[in-house]
Amino acid sequence: MSRLRLRVKEIAEEKGIDPTTLSYKAFMPVITIKAIYEDPYKNVFTDTLQKLAKALEVSIFDLMEEVPDEEQDKN
């Protein structure tokens, strides 16, 4: 089996975008951004992913990766 892992933090860092700026660009609370940064396996709504993808100027699919369960357990 596998799980979905969010790549929001990595993509934001690659683009030089800090959590506060991402919060502003995505029109969502910074606490939500920080929660996703701290737990990349966090369940989020599709509209949240859409806002983040738009703010980061990437596809919604770029924000996710499939990770085997054993790799997820290491984190």
Res 75: pLDDT: 53
Q: Indicate the residue type of 9.
A: K
Res 57: pLDDT: 98
Res 1: pLDDT: 76
Q: How many residues would you count in the chain?
A: 75
Is the pLDDT reported for residue 71 higher than 90? Answer: no
- As a whole number of angstroms, the distance between CA 18 and CA 29 comes to 13
What are the chain's domains?
A: 2-60 (1.10.260.40)
How would DSSP label each residue in 7-69?
A: -HHHHHHHTT--HHHHHHHHTS-HHHHHHHHH-TT----HHHHHHHHHHHTS-GGGGEEEEEH
